Structure 1
Amino acid sequence: MTIERSNPDGLHATPGYHHVTRVQADTMIYLAGQCPLTATGELAEGGLAAQTDQVIENILTALTAAGATPGDVVRTVIYVNSTDRGELAAVWTQLNESSLAPAFKSASTLLGVAQLGFTGQLVEIDVTAAL
Structure 2
Amino acid sequence: MTIERQNPPGLHATPGYHHVTVASAPRTVYLAGQCPLTPDGEVVAGDILAQTDQVVTNTAAALEYAGAAPSDVVRTVIYVVTDDRAVLSSVWNRLTSSPIAEAFTTASTLLGVAQLGYPGQLVELDVTAALA
Is TM more than 0.5 here? yes
Amino acid at match of 1:70: P
Equivalent residue, structure 1, for 2:86: 86
Equivalent residue, structure 1, for 2:54: 54
Equivalent residue, structure 1, for 2:30: 30
Secondary structure in structure 2 of the residue aligned to 1:124? strand
Q: Distance in 2 between matches of 1:37 and 1:46?
A: 12
Amino acid at match of 2:72: D
Amino acid at match of 1:34: Q
Q: Per-residue deviation at 1:46?
A: 1.1
Q: Per-residue deviation at 1:129?
A: 0.3
Secondary structure in structure 1 of the residue aligned to 2:33? strand
Equivalent residue, structure 1, for 2:111: 111
Q: TM-score, normalised by structure 1?
A: 0.99
Q: Distance in 2 between matches of 1:97 and 1:5?
A: 19
1:56-85: CA deviation from partner (whole Å, max 9, x where unpaired): 000000000000000000000000000100
Amino acid at match of 2:122: L
Equivalent residue, structure 1, for 2:65: 65
CA RMSD of aligned residues (A): 0.4
Amino acid at match of 1:99: P
Is residue 99 of structure 1 aligned with residue 99 of structure 2?
A: yes
* Count of matched residue pairs: 131
Secondary structure in structure 2 of the residue aligned to 1:3? strand
Q: Distance in 1 between matches of 2:118 and 2:41?
A: 11
Q: How does 1:36-47 map to 2 (within 5 A)?
A: 36-47=36-47
Equivalent residue, structure 2, for 1:75: 75
Q: Distance in 2 between matches of 1:95 and 1:78?
A: 10
Amino acid at match of 2:85: R
1:90-113: CA deviation from partner (whole Å, max 9, x where unpaired): 000000001110000000000000
Q: TM-score, normalised by structure 2?
A: 0.98
Amino acid at match of 1:86: A
Flag as ranges the 4+ runs of structure 1 deviating above 4 A.
Answer: none
